[in-house]
Structure 1
Amino acid sequence: MKSLARAAPTIAVSLAELIEMRHRVREVQLFSRPGQRSPLIGLHHSKLRGRGVDFDQVRVYQAGDDVRNIDWRVTARTQEPHTKLFHEERERPIFILVEQSRQLFFGSARAFKSTLAAQIAALFGWATLEHNDRVGGLVFGDLDHYEIKPRRSKQSLLQLLNRLVRVNAALTTDARPASDPLGSALRRAREVLRPGSLAIVICDERALSDAAEQQLSLLSRHCDLVLLPISDPMDHALPAAGLLRFGLGSAQLEVDTNDAELLRVYKASAQRRRGRWQRLAQKLGVLVLPLSTQADPVDQLREYTSSRPRPGAWAGTAP
């Protein structure tokens, strides 16, 4: 008889697994292709204007403008020289910030949150190289962070994935937690990222502190952002399973999941966290794509891209 027991979640990732993610890039369109637009294409236009493929606007001719771009119809109508401007598609740095802290070392579904974060980082990394952009990133945890300078090179991505696997393998529940690993990583990103870069932020849903929110606001002034908060089903609701015992290092906690008021308060707290991400995304005008350990990461991203969410809009719950 076939067992009905649910498989244990994947606890750790291997380099081979992250390299294999390159074969799944074609399953979901993360960046633009000529003549097409995807949910992330709007984040790939340079903030600078120049000669390119997408028309932007017409304005009064200024000294130094390319005379080949003069709009003769508007010039004739207004009796004043006008020139066409275009959005310029450029190779750009894409910087992947991925958390591997103790709070991600948990999972009740198909994978630990730390594993899902690594898989998503690899997927975006391979998609970046396929799009001929420069890829780099920062792996951050409870104590340290490891930075890879963006380059249009497979070697650069492999350095990032190697470091990611090593940090992932070292995760334990006994690690000394940092006060605000996301805030510290974002401060470093502000120091190294040049204007016009795209920052992919993959972190625990619980990581959005006041300091981290401030750093994201500052970073968004000169960089584009995609926010991918990761959660597990048990972050949002506890099962009615009687008395549950949780352990963290030497600390122990007992929770009575038959307590209706406890379950209500727990669920309300999760809703406030998700609402905070939503409000921040709307305020900054950036994409937020919440992901869950409950489903395959590529399937989740495919659902978002097919629904064509707009920047700043809440993309909904993960499948």
Structure 2
Amino acid sequence: MSTPLQAEPGICVSLAELIEMRHRVREVQLFSTPGQRSPLIGLHHSKLRGRGVDFDQVRVYQAGDDVRSIDWRVTARTQEPHTKLFHEERERPIYILVEQSQRLFFGSGLMFKSVLAAQAAALIGWAALGHNDRIGGLVYGDGEFYEVKPRRSKQSLLQLLNRLVRVNQSLHADRRHDDEALSMALRRAREVLRPGSLAFIICDERALSSAAEQQLSLLSRHCDLLLLPLSDPLDHALPAAGLLRFAQNDAQLEIDTLNPELRKAYRAQSEARIARWERLAQKLRVLMISLSTQSEMIEQLRAYLNPHKPGKSQ
């Protein structure tokens, strides 16, 4: 068991940092409020999957009413046709599936990818809680899964954030990586999420395997999804730094970053990963927001959600 890291800005997170994210929710409109519409409104009030409605009242049947909604008990009692009226639920389960694996314990920008993932999860959680939604999620890493079932309570969100911090602070470069951690996490999510839930998938850009694609496709059949693949500038292009040597456990690797063919192949591999995510999002008809360690997370979300509005000065 590794010794938890002390919270160092950009390298690992603290619970206080994630709690503080609640004050930044107002800087980016994730969910709609009266008078304001967010691009995510299509997710939060999409066509209902399953019932997704609450009973409102019974009234006398009128021409055009759905005959399937006739209240036969009241009709028999009054000898006059009555129909049930429903209203759409104002809240829905929000499920935040967030990766905290050895693969994310890296960053050449403002922060490690694991920190970026934690910050994004916290912001989404506080925004959803402020929207009166039920919050739950799954923190997963290399062979470990920690689930918090959706509940409409601050304690539920704090439980998720606390677990997120504990896993984040236990990350280290020598941990053995599980290539199918995402697909296993998605499989677990499918077992607990009810139809109509909204799931945020926060994971490494390199995590998309064939098995994960299949699980995302199955999950999208009864849940709405928002994909948030994370990357670092070094995931997309090699620096011109000459001969580099890498070592992990007993494995060693030596590469010449000045080799033009190697640099071209590395970039092509990155472009193929990005294209794969884009094809998947288009196929499943879900939103995707790519996040990078290169710039501040709030600014990236604001640029996507409000592309025509200049950033607010801090």
Once the two structures are TM-superposed, the CA of residue 9 in structure 1 deviates from its matched residue by 7.5
Q: Aligned equivalents of 1:119 and 1:282: distance in 2?
A: 26
Show structure 1 runs of 5+ residues with no match: 1-7, 53-58, 68-82, 309-319
Deviations 1:88-114 (A, max 9, x none): 252110000000011111101110000
Provide the residue aligned with 1:188 in structure 2: 188
Matches of 1:39 and 1:150, distance apart in 2 = 23
Which one of 61, 69, 75 corresponds to residue 65 of structure 2? 61
Q: Which residue of 1 aligns with 2:265?
A: 265
Residues 226-241 of structure 1: matches in 2 within 5 Å?
226-241=226-241
Q: Secondary structure at the match of 2:156?
A: helix
Aligned-residue offset at 1:49 = 7.1
**Matched residues in 2 for 1:248 and 1:204: separation?**
20
SS of the counterpart of 2:67?
A: coil
User: Residues 105 and 49 of structure 1: is their aligned pair in 2 closer, same or farther, counting only changes over 3 Å?
Assistant: closer
SS state at 1:191 partner: helix
**2:109 corresponding residue in structure 1:** 109
> 1:131-179: per-residue Cα shift (whole Å, max 9, x none)?
0001010000001100001111111111001100110111112112213
Task: State the Cα distance separating 1:86 from its structure 2 match.
Answer: 9.3
C-alpha displacement of 1:253: 1.5
Q: Which moved more, 1:8-17 or 1:30-39?
A: 8-17
> Over residues 59-83 of structure 1, what are the superposed CA-to-partner deviations in whole Å (9 max), with x where a residue is unaligned?
943225589xxxxxxxxxxxxxxx9
Give 1:32's aligned residue. 32
**8 Å contact from structure 1 (residues 49, 86) kept in 2:** no
Q: Deviation digits for residues 19-72 of structure 1, max 9, x if unmatched? A: 1111100000001112432111111115157689xxxxxx943225589xxxxx
Give yes or no for contact 2:237–2:266 (8 Å, CA) kept in 1: yes
Map 1:13-24 → 2, pairs under 5 A: 13-24=13-24
Letter in 2 for 1:63: V
Contact 1:109/1:233 (<8 A) preserved = yes
Cα distance, 1:184 vs structure 2:
0.2
Q: Percent identity?
A: 69
In structure 2, the CA distance between the partners of 1:161 and 1:51, relative to structure 1 (3 Å rule), is: closer
Query: Cα distance, 1:11 vs. partner?
Result: 1.0
Distance 2:233 2:194 in 1: 37
CA contact (8 A) 1:45 1:87 kept: no
CA drift of 1:245 comes to 2.1
- Distance in 1 of aligned mates of 2:242 and 2:177: 29
CA distance in 1, matches of 2:65, 2:226: 35
Letter in 2 for 1:196: G
- Say which is worse superposed, 89-98 or 274-283, in terms of deviation: 89-98
Partner amino acid for 2:13?
A: V
> In the alignment, what sits opposite 1:179?
179
Matching of residues 209-288 of structure 1 within 5 Å: 209-288=209-288
SS in 1 for 2:176: coil
CA distance in structure 2 between the aligned counterparts of 1:60 and 1:49, rounded to whole angstroms: 22
Kept in 1, the 8 Å contact 2:52–2:196? The answer is no
Instruction: State the partner residue of 1:75.
Output: none
SS in 2 for 1:307: coil
Distance 2:208 2:91 in 1: 30
Give structure 1 regions of 4+ aligned residues with deviation exceeding 4 angstroms. Answer: 48-52, 64-67
- The aligned runs of 1:306-317 (5 Å cut-off) are 306-307=306-307
Counterpart for residue 10 of structure 1? 10
Aligned pair count reads 279
- CA change 1:86–1:273 in 2 (3 A) is farther
The amino acid across from 2:133 in the alignment is D
Superposition pairs for residues 161-180 of structure 1, below 5 Å?
161-180=161-180
Structure 2 portions without partners, runs of 5+: 1-7, 56-62, 72-82, 309-314
Cα RMSD for the two superposed structures: 2.3
Query: Is the 8 Å Cα contact of residues 9 and 112 (structure 1) preserved in structure 2?
Result: no
DSSP 3-state at the match of 1:241: coil
CA distance in 1, matches of 2:212, 2:201: 11
Report the TM-score, using the length of structure 2 for normalisation.
0.84
